Amino acid sequence: MIEKILGPSVFSADTREDDPDAFLFPDEEEAISQAVSKRRLEYVTARLCARRAMAVLGIPPAPVRSGLRGEPRWPDGVLGSITHCTGYRGAVLGRVGEVTSIGIDAEPNQPLSPGVLESVALPAEETRIRELRAAQPEVCWDRLLFSAKESVYKAWFPLAESWLDFEDALVTPDPADGTFTARLLVPGPEVHGAPLTGFTGRWLVQDGLILTAIVVLPPAP
């Protein structure tokens, strides 16, 4: 499903069904050994998706360890992003040099819990969400904003190796073409010789899910 909002430079695998018996490498098994059943299923099936994407990419299966902030640690030569929510697991990968960074997120197409929007959205974003909600109520725009900000963070972290708060990026969804922009409100790292000032991404609402994705590519030669 997520391949619909990705470009040609990345490889993906996703599923809506868990495989509790999927293979884990010893380091992965150790990392999840104390997890509750729900968390284990998320972890196991997300790693299965990652290895399926590796196969499409043409590289042998390898462990996907977790960093200090829970970020996936990819094998040499590969970068990517993982997401999971109720009823969905997915992974998107690319080769280092062909892709600069990837951030993906999946959420149910359901409203955020009361009070959550106010804690993650800037005033301008709240105003825009109210407008979009009135025009297209079939999309849970508050949840889409949250998902886009999750994708922003996942694309940001490998480049900056630092935290990015929800209020540190102004996200603007475009309902006409399924895209969004994210303007950074804090100084970004230098990427390809220039300061990073923001991201562009795409979104999809389908089968009860919201998917968002950011793929940062190197400049054209």
> Which tens digit of pLDDT belongs to each residue from 79-104?
999 999 999 999 999 999 999 999 99
Domain-ending residue, one of 104, 139, 163: 104
pLDDT value at residue 68: 81
Query: pLDDT tens across 107-137, in order?
Result: 999 999 999 999 999 999 999 999 999 999 9
135 DSSP assignment? H
221 domain residue, yes or no = no
Domain edge (last residue) among 69, 104, 139: 104
- Torsion sign (Cα): 144, 149, 152, 154: negative
Residue 42: domain span: 2-104
Closest CA to 94 of 148, 180, 158: 158
Long-range contacts of 180-186 (CB under 8 A, 24+ apart): 180/148, 180/212, 182/148, 182/149, 182/152, 182/214
State yes or no: pLDDT of 8 exceeds 90: no
> How many domains is the chain partitioned into structurally?
2
Average pLDDT along the chain: 96
- How would you label 49-67 residue by residue, b for 16+ Cβ within 10 Å and e otherwise? bbbbbbeebebeeebbeee
pLDDT, one tens digit per residue, over 45-82 is 999 999 999 999 999 999 999 888 888 999 999 999 99
